[in-house]
Amino acid sequence: MAADLNPIDKAKYVAAKRAVDFVEDGMRLGLGTGSTAAWMVRCLGEMVREDGLQVTGVATSTRTAELAREVGITVKTLDEVKWLDLTIDGADEFDPNLNLIKGGGGALLQEKIVATASDQMIVIAEPAKEVTGLGAFPLPVEVIPFGWQTTKALIEEVLVNLDVLGRSTSLRLSGEEPYRTDEGNFIIDLHLKRIANPQQASLVLNQIPGVVENGLFLDICDIIVIGNGDGTVEVRNINDGTVEREKIEILEGDNLFNLS
């Protein structure tokens, strides 16, 4: 029940609930990955089941696709849909210009492809994700497994010439084995602490042989919906410069549909 949610989950829930207000019947939607995006998928599923909303979803990960189908959303591939009206996703960090670090959940490649194939991107987040400058959250870089140690060494070499505060890197693990993305790639996390020039960093990293993509999402997000533990939300639109604040009513009997 909604009343039983802890403040963090309530913040995620109200942000997701407000974000789906932007969804219109017949839209082709990019469905993000992560704990906050999962709330959004559940909210959409409720609209599909109870309000007859008809949408087509393109998932950014296998687990999002499974959840979307479970709650009744039609899921297709990006190749089938071609282009999207809107993508709603979470973020690990966002700055005042709505630049993002994403990829903590390991889906950064599909997330970036889907987001850039959309007319608009909305990000849902909690206040703790806001930073004055990107870099406190480790920057994920997806690399192919072949020669990954060489790729890692090349990454460390170029970091010397970037304006960053830290330069340590680590291979992401799942237990004792390298974590693998949906595409079978590895992720190297860069512990940079501060990235003074994200545009330069993104460009330089993507030029390294073996690097598939990095987790800097720059000039992609249009709107961010920030949820708070007291049920209030803030909606910032980078395009028109507006900021709206409102309270999301959560009824005692709200069915939060399969929270496990």
Q: Which residues are catalytic?
A: 111
Q: In angstroms, rounded to a whole number, what is the distance separating the alpha carbons of residues 2 and 21?
A: 19
Q: Which residue, 234, 159, 230, is CA-closest to 10?
A: 230
For residue 4, what are its two tokens? 């039983």
List b or e across 47-66, with b for residues whose CB sees 16 or more CB atoms inside 10 angstroms: bbeeeebebbbbbbbebbbe
